[in-house]
Structure 1
Amino acid sequence: MIFLEFERPLEKLYEQITKVKEVAEDGVVDMTATIEELETRIKVTRKEIYSNLTGWQRVQLSRHPERPYTLHYIDEMCRKFIELHGDRYHGDDKAIVGGIANLDGQTVVIVGHQKGVNTKMRQYRNFGMANPEGYRKALRLMKLAERFGFPVVTLIDTPGAFPGIEAEERGQAEAIARNLFEMAQLRVPIVCAVIGEGASGGAIGIGLGDHVMMLENTWYSVISPESCSSILWRSWDYKEQAADALKLTATDMLGFGIIDEIVKEPEGGAHNNVGEMSKTLKKQLKKAIAALQAKDVDTLIEERIEKYASIGRVQQAE
């Protein structure tokens, strides 16, 4: 098990219970009562820790190395998935995966960021930071969905679009802007879910939808806490304060009207029970898709455009 900084009290308890279980295996001393007591303390401590997480702690959970990524959810949620590759302009970006999937009998097109599960795979996936060809691949799949009338599901988890000079040369800003333009008018339902990090244009590039949800321990912001800290305080040491100031949690986003729903995670985070998290997410995706499919297409697009046009309005005092 990998423990985060604020989970240290839990780590100590798990170390104790492991040692006690080793003694119990020898069979010389009955350690049943001690084990039960430690298990109770673990439950109480976990509840205390996760009942009042700060913005920075939720950012840490969203980056947990064992947290499930897009392909984890696809494997758990979908009966069948056919991955499609390439943007038909430049190449195939491994930071964004997508294809046609069967979601309990409902054919959908799923597109999402993929970070990788170890160092080698993270390098292969460019740590989930997409190049322009990634966003163009995503758009190609969305237009495919529109052609055949399939709902679109996007899973967002990125520290941002790739900022390298080669990405700029190939039109990074244009690719993201084009996706926003096309997604606003796409004639099929779009359901978006932030499953980890939702940073800047890298997230919104596949994040414009009719129904947007965030998992409980995720974040969504124009900038990461570390980058915000380095700009405002000239140091990363104030990232905790930056996280609070940015108001980037799911609760904040729901209050601002930027998202429509918060999806509850298992206690301790999505990585503690991937199966349960996948079932919960699938249930909410299916519910959102069913509600959107009941609407007329023109009404759907009109409501989608109005939804984003109304974000950020400030009411004038009388």
Structure 2
Amino acid sequence: MPQNANRQFLDFEKPIKDLLDEIELTTEREKKTDIDLGGQIEQLQNKVDETRKTITHNLTDWQRVQLSRHPDRPYTHKYIELMTENYTELYGDRNIKDDKAMVGGFASLDGQTVMIIGQQKGSNTKKRQLRNFGMANPEGYRKALRLMKLAEKFNKPVITLIDTPGAFPGLEAEERGQGEAIARNIYEMMRLKVPVICIIIGEGASGGALGIGVGDRVYMMENTWYTVISPENCSTILWRSWDYKMKAAEQLKLTSTKMKEFGLIDGIIPEPDGGAHWDYELAAQNLKKQILAGLAEIKNMKPEKRVEARIEKFSKMGFWEEV
């Protein structure tokens, strides 16, 4: 994770930044004066921990959206690195090209082989451009489906890590069948005979998320969001301005807590105090623990029963009234 000097802070994280700056100054003073200031530094560090906890417990919906996009937040490759061993990345959709926004391959998770697939954002400007900011083209979804079918062939579970502001909306993507590619993935994932676990680790926007989001178990990390449209775009459509994005975030009911209440997800994975960007190892540990628990629940089911339960699960979602 980033060192203090390289950390980036959101506006509501300023109290944490001020305390960390004070720790840095106190540490420098200790080195220059040879006076033991360890007790003072420890007190300041305790204040940092308390402040992180306080901020986490009082977040608005819009602030959780901001945390899900935090530039220091761990992305798919980081979770793969911390959770698995022997990861072998696979490339290409065998039709157009390799989409850098969608990554995946076989890996060993606690001794069992799994296919792990996810959207990958970049850690700096150059890498973000390479990864298209996590917005996959049709070939990305076709690549993901190819990997899922490969996992099914060898009877290996599929794990998907969702983190995207949406599928790429460009003209060329539509010309190559963006809508069809996502629809095909939803259809095929519903029928996969192997266990499928999906986790929103950051942003879960629209069809871009659904394209790898159909599973036996669907989880959200604590400070993530999952909905049909981003708060900014919702604000633009309803109020003709981005100025109402905070209100839109509240009205969309997009947080993990609301999604669990609505029955759209199966569980919430806790994050370190302040967000996943404060402790990559703990965030990955919590994620891995939930994946293993989910696999244990479903791996012994007969494939036909598993598919049947998956179809029933998604068919029951939503609210309606028959007249």
Q: TM-score, normalised by structure 1?
A: 0.96
Q: Which of 94, 105, 130 does residue 88 from structure 1 map onto? A: 94
Report the counterpart of residue 307 of structure 1 in structure 2.
313
Q: Report the CA distance between 1:306 and its aligned residue.
A: 0.7
Q: Which residue pairs with 1:17 in the alignment?
A: 23
Q: Does 1:295 align with 2:301?
A: yes
Equivalent residue number for residue 175 of structure 2: 169
Match 1:190 to one of 188, 196, 213: 196
Q: State the Cα distance separating 1:30 from its structure 2 match.
A: 4.4
Q: Where does 1:137-148 land on structure 2 (aligned, <5 Å)?
A: 137-148=143-154
Q: Could you tell me which runs of 5 or more consecutive residues in structure 1 were left unpaired when the two chains were aligned.
A: none
How many Å separate the matches in 2 of 1:181 and 1:28? 67
Q: Give yes or no for the alignment of 1:230 onto 2:263.
A: no
Look up the match of 1:257.
Answer: 263
Counterpart amino acid of 1:24?
E
Shift of 1:45: 2.0
Partner residue in 1 for 2:4? none
Q: In the alignment, what sits opposite 2:273?
A: 267
* Aligned residue identity for 2:64: R
Query: After superposition, what is the alpha-carbon deviation per residue over 1:173-219, rounded to whole angstroms, capped at 9, x for unaligned?
Result: 00000001111111111000100000000000000000001100111
Amino acid at match of 1:97: V
Cα distance, 1:10 vs structure 2: 1.4
Amino acid at match of 2:138: P
Cα deviation for residue 33 of structure 1 reads 4.2
How far has the Cα of 1:47 moved from its partner?
2.0
Partner residue, 1:279: 285
1:37-48 alignment to 2 at 5 Å? 37-48=43-54
2:303, 2:144 → 1: CA distance?
21
Q: Residue 109 and residue 36 in structure 1: after superposition, are their counterparts in 2 closer, same or farther (change >3 A)?
A: closer
For residues 44 and 322 of structure 2, what CA distance do their matches in structure 1 show? Answer: 56
Question: What is the root-mean-square deviation in Å for CA atoms of aligned residues?
Answer: 1.4
Structure-2 separation of matches of 1:40 and 1:211? 37
The range that moved more, 153-162 or 21-30, is 21-30
Match of 1:156 in 2: 162
Work out the CA distance in 2 between the residues paired with 1:316 and 1:27: 77
Determine the structure 1 residue equivalent to 2:245: 239
Q: Displacement of 1:104 after TM fit?
A: 1.6
Moved more, 277-286 or 242-251: 277-286
SS in structure 2 at match of 1:88:
coil
Report which stretch shifted further, 250-259 or 31-40: 31-40
Aligned to 1:116: 122
- Return closer, same or farther for 1:133/1:15 CA change in 2, 3 Å cut-off: same
Structure 1 position 28, deviation (Å): 5.1
Q: Distance in 1 between matches of 2:39 and 2:84?
A: 43
**One-letter amino acid of the structure 2 residue matched with residue 75 of structure 1:** E
* Residue 52 (str. 1) matches residue 52 (str. 2): no
Match of 1:134 in 2: 140
Task: Show structure 2 runs of 5+ residues with no match.
Answer: 1-6
Q: What whole-Å deviation, never above 9, does each CA across 1:246-304 have from its counterpart, x for those lacking one?
A: 11000011111110010011111111111111111111111111211111111111110
Residues 231-257 of structure 1: per-residue CA shift (max 9 Å, x gap): 111111111111111110000111111
Distance 1:98 1:259 in 2: 23
Could you state the TM-score of these two structures normalised by the residue count of structure 2? 0.95
How many aligned positions are there?
317
Counterpart CA distance in 2 for 1:292 and 1:85 is 28
Larger displacement relative to structure 2 (9-18 or 94-103):
9-18
Q: Which amino acid in 2 is paired with 1:286?
A: L
Secondary structure, in 3 states, of the residue corresponding to 2:193? Answer: coil
Q: Report the secondary structure of 1:82's partner residue.
A: strand
Q: Identity of counterpart residues, as a percentage?
A: 59
Aligned to 1:209, what secondary structure does the other structure show?
A: coil
- Residue 77 to residue 28, structure 1, CA distance change in 2 (3 Å): closer
Paired position in structure 2 for 1:219: 225
| CA distance, structure 2, for counterparts of residue 165 and residue 18 of structure 1 | 49
